[in-house]
Amino acid sequence: MAPNVEGGVLPAELSFEGPEKKLEVTFEVTSKDALGMRAIGRDDWQTLCTVGECSILNHVRNDHADSYLLSESSLFVYPFRIMMKTCGGTKLLRVIPLLKEYAARCGTRVATIMFSRKNYMYPHLQPVEHSSFEVEKEYLDRYFAGEGRVVGPEDGEHWCVYYSNLLRDEDGLPAAPPPPQPAAARSDCMEIMMLGLDEEVMQQFFKKHAAGTAWEVTRKTGIIDLLLGADQVDDFLFDPCGYSVNALRDDAYFTIHITPESHGSFVSFETNVSVESYDGLCHAVVSLFKPRKFSVAVVRGNDRKVDVKELSNFQGFEEKISSRVDGHWPYHVHFSHYAVE
């Protein structure tokens, strides 16, 4: 199993960075019925992805959002909110200038931005703008007047978060913030990041051992049950191995990405589905993939704190880390890490 703290030493050809970098951006709501950022077409999103060094594999949509399955993770586009996450050696922060340009084209502007990620396994293989959280904060500070925090111990498993509701103007000074915004999309979110996965489970995501098509894998592995009746499911089985799925259920998204190689197996699960507690869903995810260790990050809107019971009582696991930030941003953030006892 690959090391899971910053400073891994596997050879570069064996060192794929599973943990994703994530940008969540909200935009000033100009009209309740406007298309907003959904007016940007697939070709333009591909241009943005190219800047970040990834590509669009497929696109599905429903009445609420567009889902783009990427070669390195996912992009979800709502009228006034986007979520983009990329893994590997992608250059996610480089998309910010073009994202601002697209917003202006749609008659809106950035209202808030949140950048987050788990600690890298192989920071020495990341592009320069992602080589450390300090460097990432400096890059973000070119465009925003925000603040970054590390949730959890910096010398162990942790989650990095940067938040801002202030753009910088052409002179580099904080610009006037947009007026208070109505909810552009759901603010709740749960991310599960799993390492050291059961090898028998991971065999299902090698093309030569797979149950058939990507859709057959989605059904036969039980992944379909984790998508809670999604109305749009977009899955992809990579050659020779690897699996990704995006799904939409009304205005909620689900996304799963699997790197199954035994020397560095990694699975991520994320959803913004609104539920009273993420406990049942989190247990279902962990039970299906059988990791030896995993981290959970839960974000709730400021109207409700994260209940610690959402992140406890995993049979056979010991909670090694539990850290939270309450009320500092318009979100409550809770990060926990578990390992097999």
Annotated catalytic residue within 6, 24, 54, 73: 73
How far is CA 292 from each of CA 27, 225, 254, 283, 337, rounded to the nearest angstrom? 39, 22, 23, 14, 11
Annotated catalytic residue within 6, 20, 28, 157: 20
Annotated catalytic residue within 49, 87, 241, 282: 87
Annotated catalytic residue within 17, 28, 136, 270: 17
Helix, strand or coil for residue 94? helix
Q: Is 87 a catalytic residue?
A: yes
For 36-59, letters b (16+ CB in 10 Å) and e give bbbebeeeebbebbebbbbebeeb
Say if residues 238 and 71 touch (Cβ distance below 8 Å).
Answer: no
Q: How far apart are CA 317 and CA 228, in angstroms?
A: 25
Q: How far apart are CA 101 and CA 96, in angstroms?
A: 9
Q: Is 244 a catalytic residue?
A: yes
Say if residues 113 and 163 touch (Cβ distance below 8 Å).
Answer: yes
Q: Is 20 a catalytic residue?
A: yes
CA dihedral of residues 121, 279, 290, 151 (deg, nearest 10): 10
Annotated catalytic residue within 130, 257, 332, 337: 257
**Quick one: how far is CA 275 from the chain centroid?**
18
Annotated catalytic residue within 116, 164, 187, 244: 244
Just list the catalytic residues.
17, 20, 73, 87, 244, 257
